[in-house]
Amino acid sequence: MKKLSGLLAAALVFLCAATPCGASAPPLVQAAAVPETVVLPAPAEGWADSYLRFLEGSFDIFSALWPEGISGLGFIDLDLDGTPEMVVFDQGASITLGAHLFDLVDGKVYCVSSALDSTSGAFDGTYLAPVHVCTSLFESFRLSRTAEGWCFWVDSSNGTMETTWDEFVRFDCVNGVLTPRSVCYRYLEYDPDSGLVATEQYTVNGQPADGAAFDEAANIYLDGLDAGYEAGGTFIWNGNYDTTTYEGFTALARDAAAAYVPITDTVTLASAAG
């Protein structure tokens, strides 16, 4: 994962994404057909304990991947299936951090997306998607009502002084598993003398495209009705946790689980009886 210098990083916007469980890429529909609320199933029983046991048992792996500790950890129901997923932020080298996403599948925790290539060999990669997410805040993951329906999404961005890239990522639920999907991607290279864009590349839904097609795909999310939902999570930036130690790492995890905020104002959780 490339890291972004401070000047360019400050100019990039980081937002975030996901999809109701059931379909990976729903067809475009008229906005009027999108329901104002979504009924979610109740969260899986013992979800927090499952994640905490995984983290406690994986401390050595996390320490090897990020010897300087992690920057934050929190829980968000990114695929709108009722049960939150876990988001872990690494230390990064700039304002942009790498986000590492974990889902609970049949009681077992899997890494489903990572900004670090070596993660694929560190955790069970059964459901690991090729889409990476770079962002720095839980608030970057936006829950929106768009012409394609309710979803979480993010503008994942990073770069260097010579190059920048950003990718709109939507979070779908495919066969009960959180599955990030690249909506559109933009890569820019700059002339070192003039600072102007020298090379630009675009994709939409993984296929080569142009800038107009990129903008059209991105605007579905930029123009959507933001629900204003902010996920609960815990960061170490305030110095309360030393995540290089087992005690600090597990304390952060427990507090992050306790800070989880369910989606209640915009979408309605189904009752246990329902």
pLDDT at position 158 over 60: yes
Q: Which two tokens stand for residue 40?
A: 């979610």
Residues sharing a CB contact under 8 Å with residue 40, sequence separation 6 or more, in sequence order: 77, 80, 81, 82, 263, 267, 268, 269, 270
Per-residue pLDDT band at 39 (split at 50, 70, 90): confident
C-alpha–C-alpha distance, residues 200 and 81, integer Å = 37
163-174, strands of its sheet edge to edge: 207-209, 197-204, 177-190, 163-174, 149-159, 142-146, 225-226
C-alpha–C-alpha distance, residues 212 and 202, integer Å = 9
Does the pTM surpass 0.95? The reply is no
At position 50, the amino acid (one-letter code) is S
- Indicate the average pLDDT of the chain: 84
pLDDT: which is higher, 171 or 269: 171
Residues sharing a CB contact under 8 Å with residue 18, sequence separation 6 or more, in sequence order: 76, 77, 78, 79, 80, 141, 143, 151, 152, 153, 170, 171, 172, 173, 178
Lowest model confidence (mean pLDDT) among 12-26, 70-84, 117-131, 148-162: 12-26
At position 63, the amino acid (one-letter code) is S
Distance from chain centroid for Cα 218: 16
* Domain extent listing, the chain: 6-19+39-263
pLDDT at position 103 over 70: yes
C-alpha–C-alpha distance, residues 192 and 22, integer Å = 46
Distance from chain centroid for Cα 133: 6
pLDDT attached to residue 272: 41
Q: Which two tokens stand for residue 73?
A: 């950890």
